[in-house]
Structure 1
Amino acid sequence: MGRGYNLLFILVTFLVLIAAVAAQGNSGSSRRVGQRPRVGFYGNGCRNVESIVASVVRKHVQSNPANAPGILRMHFHDCFVRGCDGSVLLAGNKTERTAGPNRSLRGFEAIEEAKTRLEAECPGMVSCADILTLAAREAVVLTGGQGWRVPLGRLDGRISQASDVILPGPNDAVDKQKRDFAAKTLNTLDLVTLVGGHTIGTAGCGLVRGRFFNFNGTGQPDPSIDPSFVPLVQASCPQTGDASARVDLDEGSAGSFDTSFLSKVRSSRVVLQSDLVLWNDTETRAIIERFLGLRRPPLRFGTEFGNSMVKMSLIEVKTGSDGEIRRVCSAIN
């Protein structure tokens, strides 16, 4: 009787331990069944998550300032395709990373390094989607922008297909931009605010050269561009030059997160047609004027940018069996 009881006790204890280990291994995803991301999601389970991501992003931006706009752009490209699920981070043949608009993305190494450090500190808890969202905020802060509180608790997606990458384009009309943003639950204020993120970063010469040399086949620059701005861009993007060369989106202030870019939209000194046309639409123009203090009530760009980034970061987030917590950000488990 005693020996049989001991064997039963050992068996039960063993099964309990196995269940505990399994629960621990799945704790990240099981905590997210039906849950929306929220501020403070990780609590004491991974209390250093934000400081770890911040330190890694800081290191990579200091070594290459282009990583700041690169990471911000990567987050946007992630959320507009299959939602904010880190699918843009997956590597491989015909993944989102290989699609044309994503080939110039940068900052992947920062996300992977942050993931490695977090796996060492709190294994299996922090998703790559959450890391990318936090990294985007740090990119803004490191370039002089205002921070915001980031809801956390996303899961990583398992699907990444280049064919899914259909993003707002550099020549889109205002109405198309409004429709594209509305399809992602973002309104016109969000549109203007998030486009204001072009205050940092660059565009490829191949995207903009037509407007400055042969607009709509006329053999002339776009007449709506400030004439004094044309030769500056032509010098940076010669007609027969390298299409992959880069030109600043915010002339003279491409490293500072501020309202300078919106002032350039007003004065027709921006390189993308999709940015320039925001001044021609009554609704978007009024928002720009409020950001610039030209119309009442005024809007604070830093505050509104944080609000719009939070809204964007909640697009189609994965919960429960829809996602996972990757061990590495470039591959599914």
Structure 2
Amino acid sequence: METKLLVFSPKLLILLLFSFAAFPSPSSSRLAFNFYGASCPSAEFIVKNTVRSASSFDPTIPGKLLRLLFHDCMVEGCDASVLLQGNDTERSDPANASLGGFSVINSAKRVLEIFCPGTVSCADILALAARDAVEIVGGPMLQIPTGRRDGRASVASVVRFNIIDTSFSMDEMMKLFSSKGLSLDDLVILSGAHTIGSAHCSAFSDRFQADSKGTLTRIDTSLDKAYANELRKKCPSSVSSSVTVNNDPETSFLFDNQYYRNLMAHKGLFQSDSVLFSDKRTKKMVEDLANDQNSFFERWGQSFLKLTIIGVKSGDEGEIRQSCEVANG
């Protein structure tokens, strides 16, 4: 599938950087396009090649990388703190237990440490990998600035307050996004990430109720009845917690605007998806995006850029880790 190249000028980047009201990041102005042009010219190629190779063996990788970036940037900013291992780290919190894609980031880092030791941050690798993941499955090809530095700390206790729960109301989601400098439009656009990826059955179990025999019944009437029956078959009440369901039941491995069509057909997997179409503040936007994939791609590029520069560290802040899973000694 042909992808559309979306190029952001430095002027547009500056305008976006200074549009944040509640979550300013002064250091983000020190990011730059082609930041590694002199210090590690092959950096972006190495990351993209790693992502492409991993995705060819495991088609679930793109969705995992995109979700991994969300869980990093929404908690303490885009500083790769979600990659750090250890007790009481973000990664150890139950809300992050189902995250994946770590091995792809670690693989890219190992190669980069051979060619450009101590140069490319894990935070940049993660942002680039998520960007490339979208392109690899048919989404727009984007330019994003680099120069992020890695955080030295990672604390589990801050995770739950900064991650969207699948049962969130519109107001709850808006409040959280606003605290990160993201708008209502960004909420609708970035929710489009659910056009790829998968979720464990427990993530949408609140839409069903089990009787004494364990039989599930749809209790959320905003969910299409036929679709609900499909989910019940895939997720019986006794199902193992390891069972997953595709976020998008139609084009699960293609980054497109099918997600918004699903919402209009009442086939949003999560309550937090369905509310985007039922709420009058966002319904028209969902309809517009469902009817215009080019518009979705263009607006995705803008919102994705804003996501990747939340709370970044640059300049003298943070560090360049030698290993993405361990802070430097």
- TM-score, structure 1 normalization: 0.85
Q: CA deviation at 1:228?
A: 1.3
What code does the residue aligned with 1:329 have? C
Of the three residues 313, 317, 320, the one matched with 2:312 is 317
> In 2, Cα distance between the equivalents of 1:209 and 1:67?
24
Of the three residues 95, 117, 123, the one matched with 1:129 is 123
Contact kept? 1:68, 1:143, Cα under 8 Å: yes
Paired residues, number: 297
> In 2, Cα distance between the equivalents of 1:44 and 1:322?
21
1:225-278 deviations in whole A, cap 9, x for unaligned? Answer: 111111100011112212331011110311110011111111111220000011
Number of the residue aligned with 2:270: 272
> Which sits farther off after the overlay, 151-160 or 114-123?
114-123
Distance 1:214 1:188, change over 3 A: farther
> In 2, Cα distance between the equivalents of 1:229 and 1:58?
32
Contact kept? 2:90, 2:154, Cα under 8 Å: yes
Unaligned runs of 5+ in 2: 1-25
Q: Are residues 1:288 and 2:282 paired?
A: no
Number of the residue aligned with 2:242: 244
> Which sits farther off after the overlay, 205-214 or 90-99?
205-214
Number of the residue aligned with 2:166: 170
Q: CA deviation at 1:38?
A: 1.7
Q: CA deviation at 1:321?
A: 3.9
Number of the residue aligned with 1:18: none
Structure having the larger proportion of residues in helix: 1
Number of the residue aligned with 1:19: none
Contact kept? 2:199, 2:247, Cα under 8 Å: yes
Number of the residue aligned with 1:94: 88
Q: Are residues 1:198 and 2:194 paired?
A: yes
Of the three residues 109, 116, 138, the one matched with 2:103 is 109
Unaligned runs of 5+ in 1: 1-31
What code does the residue aligned with 2:108 have? A
Distance 1:259 1:34, change over 3 A: closer
Number of the residue aligned with 2:113: 119
Query: Percent same amino acid among aligned pairs?
Result: 39
Structure of higher CA gyration radius: 1
> In 1, Cα distance between the equivalents of 2:305 and 2:121?
17
**Which SS does the other structure have where 2:32 is aligned?**
coil
Q: Are residues 1:140 and 2:140 paired?
A: no
Q: Are residues 1:304 and 2:307 paired?
A: no
Contact kept? 1:33, 1:321, Cα under 8 Å: no
Contact kept? 1:94, 1:162, Cα under 8 Å: yes
- TM-score, structure 2 normalization: 0.86
Q: Are residues 1:160 and 2:146 paired?
A: no
Q: CA deviation at 1:34?
A: 7.9
Distance 1:120 1:233, change over 3 A: same
What code does the residue aligned with 2:188 have? V
Cα root mean square deviation, aligned: 1.9
1:43-85 deviations in whole A, cap 9, x for unaligned? Answer: 2221111100001111111111111100100000000001000
Contact kept? 1:206, 1:244, Cα under 8 Å: no
Which has the bigger relative contact order, CA under 8 A and spacing at least 6? 2
Q: CA deviation at 1:212?
A: 2.9
Contact kept? 1:293, 1:299, Cα under 8 Å: no
Contact kept? 1:196, 1:261, Cα under 8 Å: yes
**Which SS does the other structure have where 1:213 is aligned?**
strand
Distance 1:34 1:223, change over 3 A: closer
